[in-house]
Structures are given as C-alpha cells and as structure tokens.
C-alpha cells in the first residue's frame, strides 16, 4: 500500500509537468497571441509603459477596463489548463485509489479508527456514532464535473441495525468561502431505530457527526465535510494508531488536496 501511495504522488507530479509543458506549447494559444499582435482582436489601448510618454488619453477607468480585457486570454488559458490537469490527475489517481479502497476494505474497522483518531472529528462523536461507523466499509471523495466546483462524499456500509442504505451520498458546492450543502441521500432508518434517530436530532442541535449524517442542513455541518474531504480522505493511514502505521512512516504520502473549486479569474 505504501508503494502505491508513492506512485500516486509521482503520477500527479508527472501530470502537472505534462500540462505545464503542453500549455507552453499550445498552438491554439500561440495563434491567439499572434492574432492579437496582428491586431485582429483590437483592444482599447491602455496607458503607456513607463518611459515611453503618454500614448492615449484614456481615463483611469477606461484604462482599467482595457487591462481587464487583456487578461481574458490569460484567464481562458488558466481555465483550460486547470480542466485538463484535473481530468488527467483523475485518470492517473483512479487505479491507485481503487487499489487503496480494496486494501482498506480488508482491514476490519479501518474507517471507525480513522474517524476516532482525528481530534476534531472525535470530539463531535458519541459512542453510538462510533458503533454506527463500525459498519462503514468504504469512503470516497470526488470532485464533480457538473458543477465543476462541486464535491461528492460517498459513504458505504455493510448490513447494520441502524439503517437500510448501503450507500449515503452527500454533495456540496465548494468555493473559497468553504463547503455549502447541496443535496444528500435520505437515511432509511430501521423501524426500531427511527424514533431514537428523531429524538437525537431534536434534543441535540449541536454540531456532531450524527446530525451531519442524518440531516444535510444543520448549521456548521460543512465543517465535518471539510474534515472528511481534506483530512480523512487524502491520507487515511496517517490517522491510524501509532503502532499500526509505524512501518509506513518512511513512505508517508504528502497531503493531496481534497475537493477544490476552479481557479478564480483575476
């Protein structure tokens, strides 16, 4: 598993280098630049460069608008490079992540140990939450293509006494301001636990794992999504007890980003 994680880092870095080189050699971008130089896409003339004297009588606001127009090809190139990079990283990471998932599913109680060993997450969990998580078999965090700044958290469970769902999916919109709840799979509680689930939600409105799991809208629940997407998902072995991860310390995987929104235009 350690070797697979190291290969994942190498692959991601290789994709970044490939995309950077391609962007530097992008013929379409070269044509756009040359067309601008030939004047085929005329822009309002901006303020003169220092030392060349005034070349226009544009007002400061007009000059600012002209400069912003000049930034559009740069922003377009950045968006194109980002989309290409994200797609290639997804393709390179997919087999490694699938292998990681298979390995983890062979470790009993892996995810409950990872959740409990995260300091902030553990503080928001009760004994009942921990017991519920013992039935969790898989976790996936994916960036959505539509919308491009979306994030999907998928939690898979084996047969358990609490609910019928085998999969719970929670989707978020992600921006520089954080995660914003979008939609979620309704939890289908078993009849024997449905009343207790209702009571727990009504009598404990504080931010905790159970309220996040069973209700998509509690205030502050996005913080739990952030912990899962940015701490638990990138490197789950780092959250195992010290003895269990000692052998993997030398090949620890540097944190890769979780769900992120697209680069913002400047």
The average pLDDT across 241-263 equals 52
Read off the pLDDT band of 4 (50, 70, 90).
very low
Q: What is the pLDDT of residue 131?
A: 93
Residue at token pair 């030398």: 250
Q: How far apart are CA 259 and CA 237, in angstroms?
A: 19
What's this model's pTM, rounded to 2 decimal places? Answer: 0.66
List the beta bridge partners of residue 171: 152, 183
Mean pLDDT computed over every residue of the chain: 76
Cβ-contact 17, 31 below 8 angstroms: no
pLDDT digits (tens, 9 = 90+) for 78-92: 888 877 887 788 788
**C-alpha angle 16-239-257 in degrees, rounded to nearest 5:** 20
pLDDT digits (tens, 9 = 90+) for 159-215: 999 999 999 999 988 877 778 888 899 999 998 888 888 888 777 767 788 888 888
pLDDT digits (tens, 9 = 90+) for 233-242: 999 999 887 6
List the beta bridge partners of residue 155: 139, 168
Higher pLDDT among residues 260 and 49, named by residue: 260
């Amino acid at each position: 598993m350690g070797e697979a994680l190291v290969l994942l880092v190498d692959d991601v870095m290789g994709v970044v280098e490939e995309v950077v080189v391609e962007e530097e050699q992008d013929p379409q971008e070269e044509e756009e630049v040359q067309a601008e130089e030939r004047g085929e896409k005329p822009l309002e003339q901006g303020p003169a460069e220092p030392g060349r004297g005034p070349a226009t009588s544009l007002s400061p606001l007009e000059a600012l608008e002209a400069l912003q127009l000049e930034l559009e090809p740069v922003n377009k190139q950045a968006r194109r490079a980002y989309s290409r990079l994200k797609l290639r990283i997804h393709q390179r990471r997919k087999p490694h992540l699938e292998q990681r998932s298979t390995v983890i599913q062979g470790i009993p109680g892996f995810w409950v140990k990872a959740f409990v060993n995260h300091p902030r997450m553990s503080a928001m969990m009760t004994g009942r939450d921990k017991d519920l998580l013992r039935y969790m078999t898989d976790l996936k965090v994916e960036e959505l293509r539509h919308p491009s700044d979306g994030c999907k958290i998928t939690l898979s469970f084996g047969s358990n006494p609490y609910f019928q769902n085998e999969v719970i999916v929670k989707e978020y919109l992600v921006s520089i301001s954080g995660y914003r709840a979008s939609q979620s799979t309704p939890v289908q509680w078993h009849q024997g636990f449905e009343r207790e689930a209702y009571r727990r939600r009504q009598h404990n409105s504080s931010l905790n794992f159970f309220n996040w799991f069973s209700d998509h809208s509690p205030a502050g629940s996005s913080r739990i999504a952030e912990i899962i997407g940015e701490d638990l998902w990138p490197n789950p072995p780092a959250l195992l007890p010290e003895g269990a991860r000692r052998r993997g310390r030398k090949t620890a995987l540097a944190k890769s980003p979780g769900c992120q929104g697209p680069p913002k235009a400047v």
